[in-house]
Amino acid sequence: MALFSDVTGVDVKDCIIDSSSGSIVFIVPPGKAGLAIGSRGVNVKRLSKILGKRVEVVEWADNLEDFARNLFLPARVLGTSLIKLKDGKKVLHVRVNPEDKGLAIGKGGKNVNKVKTILKRYFDIDVVSIL
């Protein structure tokens, strides 16, 4: 996280290593993603080369829907709905633009799994489904 701050000049809220996709997700304060990414992605490219992993930058949001939108970018999220099951599990249904459904899910479900991991950490979401 210190390396990220040194390279980008942006403080990091959290860092999540996604071993299934071989990437590192850095969560930055609202409005700081552009600065963290850098002009033409120069900061992300530099970090990726140093760390030897794919680097992603996501802006934090205090509410679940906005954070889910940020996590699924560049897929266009049309809306979300949270359902609490009788057994206590929380299921988040994310409605995306039909053209972006494959992008939101990712190859082999890697994007939706990454989002599920992050949302479990912050909002105690057990299941994420794409509609």
pLDDT digits (tens, 9 = 90+) for 76-117: 999 999 999 999 999 999 999 999 999 999 998 889 999 999
CA separation for the pair 120, 1 (Å, rounded): 21
Domain containing residue 7: CATH number: 3.30.300.20
Specify whether 55 is located in the same domain as 90: no
Domain count, the chain: 2
Specify whether 43 is located in the same domain as 69: no
pLDDT over threshold 90, residue 118? yes
Specify whether 121 is located in the same domain as 83: yes
- What are 14's two structure tokens? 């959290």
Domain of residue 108 covers 64-130
CA separation for the pair 33, 29 (Å, rounded): 8
Taking Cα atoms as reference points, which of 101, 120, 121 lies closest to residue 111?
A: 101
